Amino acid sequence: MIDPNFFLYYKIIMASIDDFNSDPLIGKRLGTCTILKELDRGGMGIVFIAYQQTLKRQIALKLIPKCYFTASVTERFHHEAESAAILSHPNIVQVYEIGETEDYLFFTMQLVKGDSLGFILEKVQSHFMASRRILPVKTSIRIIAQVLDALDYAHNEEIIHRDIKPDNILMEKHTKRPIISDFGLAKVLRGDNIDFLIRGTPAYMAPEQILGLKVDGRTDIYGVGVVLFEMLVPELPFLENESTEAFLKRKAYDKKGVFLKNPSDLNPNLHKEMDEIVSRAIAYDPDDRYPTCRDFLNRLENYEKNYLK
């Protein structure tokens, strides 16, 4: 059953972050770093460019106002962020330092020079030529393959992400390497069942997240499946003008899913096999999805081998 407070929490926190004035934080020091300028903000926090005096380098700093959370969630944040900091993979942002002040939780991490996949998709999908509003299929598979490899590694370390979406996949400018960010908000499988109020981003959330049920690596697989779908089509086929609350309720209870069309219906360059690949990743029941990210990755590699020249 959906947490009756979920939608209230979601609306309050989203509105609060949007209204938060970060100007007084510029020039302030947190931990070993001085905040230089705001870089981005999302559903739960604000990302800044900061300067780390000890190593004389620019890094990223994510700050989360503590007033949005309970004391137990604050404690859990430290445990999860510290666990995420042990991850070492070329496609995962490295976490450097976790800390808190009287008002904020924060962690510092690798500063990736480049745009998010979300920004790139938005730019591609708004191209003035209709034929250029989709990424090449090979490019999409290459990016998703690296994301799946990184998540497979994290899952083997008993850490899942729970908020896989294009905005949390950063594309390094020079290497074109996708790097997953925000592992500081991950769920540690070996831990207890305390959860955050915000459990993900609506379009990419698996049904079990919305319902507050147990989550595991297959929850991340659902998110990757939606991201892949989005990369392959001009626009995700949702109902128009549907409220967030109605969308989440439909996603939580409608076993047919929320997508109105298959990828190949919207992209003539796709073989029907891709419909099967995506539909399994975003199946309503976790047991119907790929058991692991490696299984998902193998299926994509076979598609590339058999259907792409």
Q: Which residues are catalytic?
A: 163
φ and ψ of 162, to 5 deg: 75, 0
Length of the chain: 309
Torsion sign (Cα): 91, 97, 98, 103: negative
Q: How far apart are the first and last CA of the chain?
A: 47
Residue with tokens 């990743």: 281
CB atoms within 10 A of CB 237: 15
φ and ψ of 90, to 5 deg: -65, -15
Amino acid at 212: G
Inter-CA distances, 83 with 124, 134, 138, 184, 249, Å? 36, 37, 34, 8, 32
**124 with 132: CB under 8 angstroms?**
yes
Amino acid at 296: F
What gap in Å lies between CA 267 and CA 195, rounded to an integer?
38
Q: Which of 151, 156, 124 is nearest to 139 (CA)?
A: 124
Q: Which of 108, 110, 84, 105 is nearest to 97 (CA)?
A: 108
DSSP label of 189: T
φ and ψ of 18, to 5 deg: -60, -35
Residue with tokens 């799946």: 148
